[in-house]
């Protein structure tokens, strides 16, 4: 039992030392975090925004990515549905966006999916 405790404490010591050395080599570098969960993704690709499927499992990682994209996609779908339906009045009377919705639609600016509001 004593040997096991010594191994565990040694592993903790090595981990603390590694973190200390890493921080000294790259001072002030903040750990990269997932946009949705806030989990540490510093060990993933530099352009990663979300936790990887290798860490979370494919289905969970997909759910996490969907939490970011679904509001934007649903809003675009709803606006396009209003525009495609026959209306007596101009679309501008039916489509009034708040700041958050306008921010979500900025993602599509300049692409084929732009809503043109």
Radius of gyration over every alpha carbon of the chain, rounded to an integer in angstroms: 23
| Model pLDDT, residue 20 | 55
Contact between 117 and 79 under an 8 Å Cβ cutoff? The reply is: yes
Counting every residue written for the chain, the total comes to 117
Beta bridge partners of 33: 40
| Model pLDDT, residue 12 | 61
* Residues 83, 73: Cα–Cα separation, whole Å: 15
Least confident of 9-18, 20-29, 92-101: 20-29
Please count the other Cβ atoms lying within 10 Å of the Cβ belonging to residue 76. 17
Least confident of 1-10, 39-48, 97-106: 1-10
* Residues 107, 83: Cα–Cα separation, whole Å: 19
For 51-92, the pLDDT digits (tens) are 888 888 899 889 999 999 999 999 999 888 888 877 777 666
Residue 47: pLDDT over 90:
no
CA distances from 76 to 65, 66, 97, 117 (A): 17, 15, 11, 11
Beta bridge partners of 40: 33
| Model pLDDT, residue 96 | 80
């Amino acid at each position: 039992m004593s040997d096991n405790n010594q191994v565990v404490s040694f592993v903790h010591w090595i981990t603390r030392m590694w973190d200390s050395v890493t921080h000294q080599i790259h001072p002030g570098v903040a750990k990269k975090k997932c946009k949705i969960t806030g989990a540490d993704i510093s060990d993933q690709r530099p352009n990663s925004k979300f936790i990887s499927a290798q860490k979370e499992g494919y289905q969970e990682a997909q759910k996490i990515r969907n939490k970011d994209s679904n509001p934007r996609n649903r809003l675009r779908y709803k606006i396009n549905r209003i525009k495609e339906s026959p209306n007596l009045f101009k679309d501008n009377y039916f489509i009034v966006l708040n700041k958050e919705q306008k921010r979500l639609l900025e993602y599509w600016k300049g692409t084929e999916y732009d809503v043109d509001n």
